[in-house]
Amino acid sequence: MTRSKFSFYIDISGNSFKPQEDKFTLPNSFLQGLGLDEDALLDEVEATTLLTRHSKFMELQVTFRTSGSMKCSRCLQSLPLHIERSELFIIKFWEQEPPMDNDPNLLWLPKGETRLELTSVFSDILLGLLPARFTCAGDENPRPCDQKVLEKLSELSVEP
Ligand SMILES: [Zn+2]
């Protein structure tokens, strides 16, 4: 994986049990570097993190809000897209060796670490953010597909 020129992190050094909120704006250039679906055009993404400390672990709620447009999977019309997605992560601390763990929502940090790097967490969420199938008839875009384009497409894909 190529090294990103972006760095997003939060300070986790405090010990207040009051939830800590941080806000980030993920610019379009960060999104482009990830290789998202070419049929989508996203504006910048507003990311809000809410860190809650517990005595032995921390909880991190990450919420993404963005809008833009994406092409219909059937007729390729460009449609408005609004996304709000929230994910919960658990942060735990290791003392001698980092545990082998493949749970993507469990983040391990060395004990005493004072900051949490979020760039890869943000990248992972972004890569799963776009709907796999997005059509004119969907909840958000209740209108019919462009029939002319559908006809053209079916002509183009005739069996030889
Ligand atoms: Zn359509």
What's the pLDDT tens digit per position in 12-35? 998 888 999 999 999 988 988 888
Task: Give the global pTM.
Answer: 0.85
CA of 65 to the centre of ligand 1 (A): 24
What's the pLDDT tens digit per position in 31-65? 888 888 888 999 999 999 999 999 899 999 999 99
CA of 133 to the centre of ligand 1 (A): 11
Instruction: Give yes or no for a contact between 104 and 124, defined as CB atoms under 8 angstroms apart.
Output: yes
What's the pLDDT tens digit per position in 76-114? 999 999 999 999 999 999 999 988 888 989 999 999 999
Asked whether residue 2 carries a pLDDT value surpassing 70, the answer given is no
Domain assignment present for 1: no
Domain assignment present for 23: yes
> What is the per-residue pLDDT for 140?
79
Domain assignment present for 94: yes
Domain assignment present for 86: yes
CB atoms within 10 A of CB 150: 15
CA of 33 to the centre of ligand 1 (A): 28
Task: State how far the alpha carbon of 122 is from the alpha carbons of 9, 27, 73, 143, in Å.
Answer: 10, 12, 26, 33
CA of 149 to the centre of ligand 1 (A): 9
Q: Tell me how many domains the chain contains.
A: 1
> What is the per-residue pLDDT for 98?
86
Domain assignment present for 138: yes
Phi, psi values for residue 110, rounded to 5° = -65, 145
CB atoms within 10 A of CB 43: 13
Domain assignment present for 5: no
> What is the per-residue pLDDT for 1?
47
Encoded amino acid at 92, one letter: K
Domain assignment present for 6: no
> What is the per-residue pLDDT for 154?
86
Q: Supply the range of the domain harboring residue 26.
A: 11-156
CA of 144 to the centre of ligand 1 (A): 6
Better-predicted residue by pLDDT, 4 or 89: 89
CA of 155 to the centre of ligand 1 (A): 16
Domain assignment present for 2: no
> What is the per-residue pLDDT for 3?
54
> What is the per-residue pLDDT for 123?
93
CA of 124 to the centre of ligand 1 (A): 28
> What is the per-residue pLDDT for 53?
95
Encoded amino acid at 65, one letter: R
